[in-house]
A and B are shown apart, each in its own frame.
Chain A
Amino acid sequence: MAAQPYAVEVDGVVKRFGSLRALDGATLRIRRGEVYGLLGPNGAGKTTLIRALVGLVIPDGGTVTVLGRRAPNLDVLARVGYMTQQAALYPDLSAEENVAFFAAINGAHEGVREALEFVELWDRRGSVVSSLSGGMRTRCSLACALAHKPDLLLLDEPTVGVDPLLRVQLWNRFQRMAHDGTSILVSSHVMDEAERCDRLGLIRFGRLLAEGTVAELKGQAGVDRLEDAFLKLAEAGGK
């Protein structure tokens, strides 16, 4: 398993919804232990790509390999943590009950306390989710995705609607996890977050326009700001 250099390999994946091509030959690689930022505007195909990794979307063409196995694979899913865009939680359960439930369906019997401490919600573990603030729900949702200690963490726009302070805290946590060996895919359309990723993939119209470190992308576009690089690469790739 350690011989596998990539946590995720996506090769020429196509997904159509009627006449819309949500993914149009998307290709990308995520290395083990890196934070990979999937950057693109709304409707670019970020969520569809993440859903293809967990088997919620079956591609019409191309291949998806997750942790060395062709997706969808139920055994692999136990090693994947998935945080949906919306804080998908049971509002009538407490924070601890939610995390314990998602840990259990992923086959983990412990890790609940660690996950809640990681997102600084252990003191509020008994609170019913419907009584938590938006930011707390986001953190609880993250705890649900990582309680079973996944090797790959998929975070679909985890910082949307999150205040700047919490956003910084979350990014520090993602980087700590990557340092400990977890591969992380974060989708976002916020450019300043992208600077924190080890590598980036720029996606538009269901295709990867460019891939590399922040410095590589800036160099590729010949500009100083990532935002300008994205606009330039998007313009070139959209034609």
Chain B
Amino acid sequence: MSGRRVAAITRRILQQFRRDRRTLGLLFGAPLIILGLLGYLLRGGGAVPAMGVVNLDDGPLGAAIASQLEQSKTASASGMSRAAAEAKLRSGELAGYVLLPSDFSSRAQQSRVISPEVHLEGSQPGLSQTILQAVSESFAALAGQAGGVRFAPQVTFLYGGQTFDTLDYFGAAFIGLVVFFLVFVITIVAFLRERGQGTLERLMASPLRRGEIVLGYMLGFTVLALVQAVEVLAFCLLVLHVHNAGNVGLIFVLEALMAIAAVNLGIFLSMFARTEFQAVQFIPLVILPQVLLSGIIFPISTEPGPLTVLSRVLPLTYAVEGMRNIMIKGADISWPSLQLDFGVVLGFCLLVILASAATLRRRIA
């Protein structure tokens, strides 16, 4: 083995990177951006989930627990009527509410068991856990005053439930994400190959219109993407048995819209890359922040304020929400929240179709 030959290869690699500023930027800039984003998400002092307290108790214990909850730093609790709490739970404003019935104090004295009703919205496991933790902390704070009393909350879920596992919650979001991600990568690389091998120049010198190229590409890749979407959906529902309370057709339509958006995003972003190597660099920049901010892992309602705004403009957020609306909540198209999700994803589709058609000639000329 020759040290000089090895050194020649090492030197050549470093020389190549010295001239490729974009790759250097990705190598040293992207980790800071992604980790910084993660740090801000987790330590940025985001909002705590909102919960309601419905205190119907005639005795003193209810008032004491309600007071403890309202001072809680784990959740943001406020007193309200049962009807208001139920309405806010359904609209998604509350992650849950605690109901302290009229005989709450007397039952606690007789049976030595404190069992408040905890009603959870349930579509986001992280939020449900936080609400249960807040309730449990309020009890623990009172435990000293009511010695020997057992705490046994009666938990009910509006959506999901005790039988739901992590896959049921994340599966819905991942069905859309997997299709979006893979279709995006395949399209951007395929389109760059078309440029690299010179065939795009030939297409542009033919009577083909820009719109025809984009539409042809879109249909070709969409056929593949739809087959993939069917495969992913069937695997999740039939093999993994991911919970689904909604219409399979609606899930498929949302998946298909995401696939079409991914195809056109791939064509559009391929305009900004010269090589397949540069195209691959878009993956962490396009996909990772969306995964962190679209509510797949961290609920948007608990993000620090500025990130909430950012999440609300990311199309993947609405796709994830839509998938969860359908699969976990059983939403149909009459639900305004699902109409919003579909509307945003559809709007994004149209936007990237127009963008890819408009910029197609740029690099060619």
Bound complex: CA A80 to CA B206 (Å): 8
Q: Interface digits, A89-112 against B, CB 8 Å rule (1 contact, 0 not)?
A: 111000000000010011100000
With A56-B364, A88-B199 as known contacts, state yes or no: A82 contacts B205, CB within 8 Å. Answer: yes
The yes or no answer to A78 lying at the interface (CB within 8 A) is yes
Interface residues contributed by chain A, number (CB under 8 Å): 24
Whole-angstrom distance between the alpha carbons of A159 and B259 in the complex? Answer: 43
The verdict on B202 contacting chain A, using a C-beta distance below 8 Å, is yes
Within 8 A of B (CB), among A31-70: 51, 54-58
In the complex, which residue of chain A has the Cβ closest to the Cβ of B212? A105
Of B202, B207, B209, B365, which is within 8 A of A88 by CB?
B202
A144 at the interface (CB under 8 A from B): yes
- Per-position binary interface string of chain B over residues 194-227, scored 1 when its CB falls under 8 Å from any chain A CB and 0 otherwise: 0001110111111111000000000000000000
B202 touches A57 (CB 8 A): no
Task: Bin chain B's interface residue count.
Answer: 10 to 19
Interface string of B35-67 (1 = CB under 8 A from A): 000000000000000000000000000000000
Query: Does A131 make an interface contact (CB < 8 A)?
Result: no
Judging by beta carbons under 8 Å apart, are B206 and A88 in contact?
no
Cα–Cα distance between A57 and B206 once the two chains are bound (Å): 14
B205: A residues at CB distance < 8 A = 51, 54-56, 77, 80, 82
A105 x B197 contact (CB < 8 A): no
Write the nearest CB–CB distance from A185 to chain B, whole angstroms: 13
B207 to A56, Cβ gap below 8 A? no
Contact B365 A84 (CB under 8 A): no
Docked pose: A51 CA to B198 CA in angstroms: 13
Return chain B residues, CB-CB under 8 Å to A58. 365
B202's partner among A74, A78, A144 (CB-CB below 8 A) is: A144
> Closest Cβ of chain B: how far from A231's Cβ, in Å?
32
Q: How far is A51 from B209 in the complex, measured between Cα atoms in Å?
A: 17
The interface residues of chain B lying within 8 Å CB-to-CB of A102 are 202, 206
SS class, residues of chain A in contact with chain B: loop
Q: Which residue of A lies closest to B197 (CB)?
A: A88
**Nearest CB of chain B from residue A73's CB, rounded to whole Å:** 9
Q: A107 contacts which chain B residues (CB < 8 A)?
A: 207
Contacts of A88 in B (CB 8 A): 197-199, 201-202
State whether A84 and B197 are in contact (beta carbons under 8 Å apart), knowing that A56-B365, A105-B208 are contacts in the complex: no
Is the beta-carbon distance between A56 and B201 smaller than 8 angstroms?
yes
B-chain residues with CB within 8 Å of residue A90 when the two chains form the complex: 197, 199
Q: Do B204 and A106 touch across chains, with their CB atoms under 8 A apart?
A: no
Q: How far is the CB of B59 from chain A (nearest CB, A)?
A: 78
Q: CA separation between A56 and B195, bound complex, in Å?
A: 14
CA distance A189 to B31 in the complex (A): 50
A75 at the interface (CB under 8 A from B): yes
> What CA separation (Å) do A54 and B208 show in the bound complex?
12
Residues of B within 8 A of A105 (CB): 203, 206-208
Neighbouring B residues of A106 by C-beta, 8 Å: 206-207
- Complex interface residues of chain B between 244 and 287 (CB less than 8 A to chain A): none
**What is the bound-complex CA distance between A95 and B206, given in angstroms?**
19
Task: Determine if A75 and B201 form an interchain contact, defined as CB atoms under 8 angstroms apart.
Answer: no
Query: Which residues on B sit within 8 Å (CB–CB) of A54?
Result: 205
Which one of A51, A57, A78, A91 contacts B207 once the chains associate, using CB atoms below 8 Å?
A78
> Who on chain B is nearest to A73 by CB?
B207
A167 to B320, CA, bound (A): 59
Q: Hey, which chain A residues are within 8 Å of B208, CB to CB?
A: 105
- Provided the pairs A56-B365, A58-B365 are in contact, do residues A89 and B199 lie with their beta carbons within 8 angstroms? yes
In the complex the two chains form, is B197's CB within 8 Å of A77's CB? no
Q: A82-B206, A88-B201 are in contact. List 16 more A-B contacts (CB 8 A).
A: A54-B205, A56-B205, A56-B365, A58-B365, A75-B207, A77-B206, A84-B202, A86-B197, A88-B198, A89-B197, A90-B197, A90-B199, A91-B197, A105-B203, A106-B207, A144-B202
Q: Which residues of A contact B (CB under 8 A)?
A: 51, 54-58, 74-75, 77-78, 80, 82, 84, 86-91, 102, 105-107, 144
User: Which residues from chain B sit less than 8 Å from chain A, CB to CB?
Assistant: 197-199, 201-209, 364-365
10 CB contacts below 8 A, A to B, read: A56-B201, A56-B364, A58-B365, A74-B207, A74-B209, A78-B207, A88-B202, A105-B207, A106-B207, A144-B202
- Please list the 10 inter-chain residue pairs (A to B) with the smallest Cβ-Cβ separation, ordered nearest first: A88-B198, A54-B205, A78-B207, A77-B207, A82-B205, A86-B198, A74-B207, A88-B199, A105-B206, A88-B202
